[in-house]
Structure 1
Amino acid sequence: MAVPSLTEKSTPPAAAAGADDPPILDVRGLWKVFGPRADRVVGTPLAQLSRAELKHRTGCVAAVRDVSFSVRRGEVFVVMGLSGSGKSTLVRCLTRLVEPTAGEVRLDGEDVLACGERRLRELRRHRFGMVFQHFGLLPHRRVLDNVAYGLEIRGTKKDGRYERAREVLELVGLAGFEGSYPDQLSGGMQQRVGLARALAVDPEVLFFDEPFSALDPLIRREMQNEVIRLHREVGKTMIFITHDLSEALKLGDRILIMRDGALVQMGTPDQVVGAPADDYVRDFVSDVPRSDVLTLSWVMRDARPGEPLDGPELAPDTVIRDAARTVLSAGRPVKVVSGGALLGVVTTAEILEVIAGPDPGNPDSPGGESR
């Protein structure tokens, strides 16, 4: 069986894909209820009960409650929430490691929940890849054999799977460690082996279930940068589960925030920070430096009559932190321009307002109550 090269097949990043392109993964009305007679909850008045009430009345726990979202091809889609929010159960439902109680999961239009065991195995072997928090490496096998394991299960011949395994080991920076055993590697290196194993089968969608939470902070940042680099190089669709907001903001093209099994807010990092949906999200993002996340589109204003328009030009998606030096040194309004059209202007006042922090009583303040 031939094994495609990483350079042969690469999905374009989400930023380059059209927003109207069909999603690679489409989830609609997904439920997972644990407990006795769980199937009697969905579609009845019981579904409207709070998690605590439902548990008290029925003994059931709704781990995932009527969650819907789509993931674009090549996108890094982050699902985040605190412990018990349902995020890990959600990602396991997508691959049917946990069987959903109700709803739809479609991969390129194919109903994953309707697949028989044989077809589901094919999806897991060929189209899905999974990276777990606990590395799950086989301790008695060398790194090379661990990385090649999925290809071995698939039936790829030894020479082909070893060639592919060496290729992805070089990609994740572990060339030269092919003959090592897992216990001879650091935690960060073991997670790279897990990542290489997932990449080796050339999946269309990579699922990450809090893969870095057990790592030291420095190694964790290194692995986050590694994911960013790999996404830029191979363009895989990635669904990333985390409880860490800074990790979500760093990695995600879009972020879905969960609480008690339900979707609370979904949007781009600047939307989550700039317009939190409720107090729960607002508390989440309260310590985030907004100048590191918000763009000029959040603070630009209309040019005033007689205001000079001969200043520098910046794009509306320029992060405020990156624009600050230009704006503060310009001495005149900086034009926010897209496609040759003037969208607005930004001055020192708008930049300093963001750096100083939101005013909860001012609806026009970025991140204020009425934003």
Structure 2
Amino acid sequence: MAQQSVVNQYAPFTTQTVMEFVKTLSIFDHPNKLIVKEIGDGNLNLVFQLVELETNRSIIVKQALPYAKVVGESWPLSLNRAKIESESLRMTARVVPNLVPHVLHTDHELACTVMEDLSDHHILRTELISNQHYPLLAQHIGYYVAQTSFATSDFALHPFVKKELVQKFTNPDLCKITEDLVFTDPFFDHPTNDFPHELRHAVETIWADEDLLTEVGLLKFQFLTHAEALLHGDLHTGSIFVTEQSTKVIDPEFAFFGPIGFDLGQFFANIILNTLSKLATTDRQAIVSDLLRAMEQTWITFAQEFTKLWDESNHEIYTNVPGILPRFLLKVWTDAIGFAGCEIIRRTIGLAHVADLDTIEDFHIQIEIKERALQLGADLIKSRTHLYSLGHFIQRIKGALRS
């Protein structure tokens, strides 16, 4: 449960103070025999691992910083995002307990969350870069998005409850980051953008495409105004931990109520970026096929699970009208494709890149693949309302791989 700490004033943890804090929580049997290590490498938080020497039991302590590490103290952020993250994890655990880390303790004064250690899992992005395949991943992610989005939607909740939750998960600081870094800055000549000179022509083509900018603007407005369900808000492959049998979705500090297709689109985009990176390898056919099937299976699982919940647990009277569900799923699908296109572009030329592309050793091949990524991202955004099926979507991706 959330509690007040004996420390009642916020300060960023050090390895010493985080150990003193954990000793007050009665989590370990031998709290005086702990080793602590700072392991965080993200942009917004401190992350520590604490291990009990007697039992080798370990936990993670994550603490929000009052600024973005990637920029520094000139980019202040509210510490309330730590509360949003812990509450999102707890709410998500009610419907998909096996797909999120278990929260052991939260302290809102210190903006920190204590949770289970997932050291036996691997970061999905790193695994995909290393050409590892996880056959249960797509089913788990499709199930995760279907269950969490339906459970927090107007289809499952009383209107009063839903509106209270929308207020509770209002997340202005982190939503503003998404609004700027995903939907705005990459599509204009903005100082946060980051790309090599060799990409300049392709980037300026993006900036000059008025049809593209129109569609991105519409997608941004949907992100701003369509409070359909509680989203993870940052569902990329760096926020997913995996083993052969287990998938854990972490870091929902960007959680807010938005369009259901956004989480799916972010996941699709990061799989697509990894797929494009395989163009730099010689033996890629089987790997690419696995990645394409993963996207297909993610959507199939999502649609099947969402439909099942719709049929069994829906209390909205209009859901009995036969044409409503297909139209709603089509909206989620086309939204996801458009959001995927935005994510592809911003991860290629915006402030925050992905290692999938940036670690390609041959610079000329890296530039070529990034050009394809920009072209594909723009194509998905502009053609999303015409890509009615999985087949059309996959064919567009295959086209980018061939061209």
Q: TM-score, normalised by structure 1?
A: 0.23
**Hey, which of these two has a bigger chunk of strand by percent?**
1
Q: TM-score, normalised by structure 2?
A: 0.22
**Hey, which of these two has a bigger chunk of helix by percent?**
2
